Amino acid sequence: MKKLYFITGSQDLYGEEALKTVSKNSQEIVGFLDKKVANRAEIVFLGVVKDSSTCLDYILKANYDKDCIGIITWMHTFSPAKMWIRGLSRLQKPMLHLHTQYNQRLPYQNIDMDFMNLHQAAHGDREFGFIAARMNVKQHVISGYYKNEDFINEVIRFTDVCLGIDHAFNLRVAMFGSNMRDVAVTDGDRVQSEIAYGWNVNYYGIGDLVCIINEVKEEEIAQQLEEYKKKYICKTDNLQAIKEQARYEVALRKFIQKEKIDVFTDNFQDLHGLNQLPGLAVQDLMQEGISFGPEGDYKTPALLASLLPIIKYRNGATGFIEDYTYDLLEGEEIELGSHMLEVPPSFAVNKPEIQVHPLGIGGKADPARLVFDSIDGDGLQITMVDMGTHFRIIAAKIKLIKQPEAMPKLPVARIMWKHIPDFKTSTEAWMLYGGGHHSVISTALTVEDVKLFAKLTNTELCIIDENTKL
Ligand code: MN
């Protein structure tokens, strides 16, 4: 189980009795919050910081524990912040600074100097806040009584985002082929991606996959076809095309397992040895939580994979999409997002249909793909671009809508949405921020999640929402 280490700040000026109370009260708060984050992670009390050397010991312990995803700090009493400098200078994990109190109310009748000295987060947390800000620690601060619902929800959000960051740190991305020729926005600095987020992104020849595809057995294909039968409606006579996708999927699974891959990309310009573009195969893998990027785009699916742990315990759909075309009726503008094939079936409002149609580009055989209409609801569109000097995340609030009319001749799955605050503001802002045409769309992620992810990974963030003015 992943862990968050809880460290309480104090000092040895108050005597042993006071420190015992500080420790006891801290453990009570830890016990309470630990139950609230429940199955996500464990909150473990490390101890009370009394001097610079205990602080350094605790932070080194957090740093070198692979299961530790972040630390939580709280100043029960005053805790002179110079004793935190050495420790914080070595901190490499996200930090949550709780600004709270053991007691909710002031004991007006009984409050004396001892009580005030013991319960002085108002004083101690400000001292700590200064040093964390001055040292540019990757941190989040939550204020309020720790039993308040909003407070608890923020602690849960911090835990979820830390799980995402921890997952990102361990991600392995396989690129079959490289970036699509001449496309700019999907390219990026893979070395910097690993330094910034931990994404280990590597090239594989499509031949590496073809070797595995050629060894897939008939019974493995039959088993995969049974899975398709359970999950999808077959709307084609071209069973050979479906069988081919099943073969790809079995091979992809073997490859993913062997290379410990979480994310992969392909490129329709480089499919030597495959006679279809992987469509159904990729869509089915997407539904199982494998992130995929087309055209050699590694950033969008790696970002998706980094955000997925945040919404593990929420409802909603999340996945890759490409901006495609518009309905520009003035004042009612709608966007249609889709892709050549690879639209994630988590957005399906109905049971997806397996269909086989020709593909306009790529010069390959007609591929099987899943076709469906999308769910509606409040959503968020998120993308990451490489600005050369740094990465930038752009997040826009959107409203997914039911498609206004049937589109019987469109041979791919589709998602439709309206922009917030309006089409003109949102899309102009998206362009000005440099947002590309590949993104993650989610009805589960919120702006607050993305803000926290950006803050804790030190990533520039541009938000487009109801308050956006150009
Ligand atoms: Mn694309």
Cα of 50 vs centre of ligand 1, distance in Å, is 55
Is residue 59 within 8 A of residue 90, CB to CB? The reply is: yes
Cα of 393 vs centre of ligand 1, distance in Å, is 18
Cα of 124 vs centre of ligand 1, distance in Å, is 51
Cα of 294 vs centre of ligand 1, distance in Å, is 6
Cα of 23 vs centre of ligand 1, distance in Å, is 55
* Token digits of residue 230: 């359970």
Predicted pLDDT of residue 239: 96
Q: Which of 209, 128, 140, 233 minimizes the C-alpha distance to 457?
A: 140
> What are 252-282's pLDDT values in tens digits?
999 999 999 999 999 999 999 999 999 999 9
Cα of 267 vs centre of ligand 1, distance in Å, is 10
Predicted pLDDT of residue 360: 81
Predicted pLDDT of residue 361: 79
Predicted pLDDT of residue 363: 81
Cα of 414 vs centre of ligand 1, distance in Å, is 14
Q: pTM for the whole thing? A: 0.97
Cα of 332 vs centre of ligand 1, distance in Å, is 25
Cα of 275 vs centre of ligand 1, distance in Å, is 20
What would the DSSP string read from start to end of 86-141?
Answer: HHHHH--S-EEEEE--S-SS--TTT--HHHHHHS-HHHHHHHHHHHHHHTT--EEE
DSSP secondary-structure letter at 144? S
- Residue 264: what are its φ and ψ, rounded to 5°? -140, 160
Cα of 122 vs centre of ligand 1, distance in Å, is 51
Cα of 150 vs centre of ligand 1, distance in Å, is 39
Predicted pLDDT of residue 84: 98
Cα of 210 vs centre of ligand 1, distance in Å, is 23
Predicted pLDDT of residue 362: 78
Dihedral of CA 240/246/248/254: which sign?
A: negative
Predicted pLDDT of residue 290: 97
Cα of 436 vs centre of ligand 1, distance in Å, is 10
Cα of 119 vs centre of ligand 1, distance in Å, is 56
Cα of 195 vs centre of ligand 1, distance in Å, is 26
Is residue 319 within 8 A of residue 344, CB to CB? The reply is: yes
Ranges of residues in the chain whose predicted pLDDT is under 50: none
> What are 311-355's pLDDT values in tens digits?
999 999 999 999 999 999 999 999 999 999 999 999 999 999 999
Q: Which of 34, 310, 62, 314 minimizes the C-alpha distance to 165?
A: 310
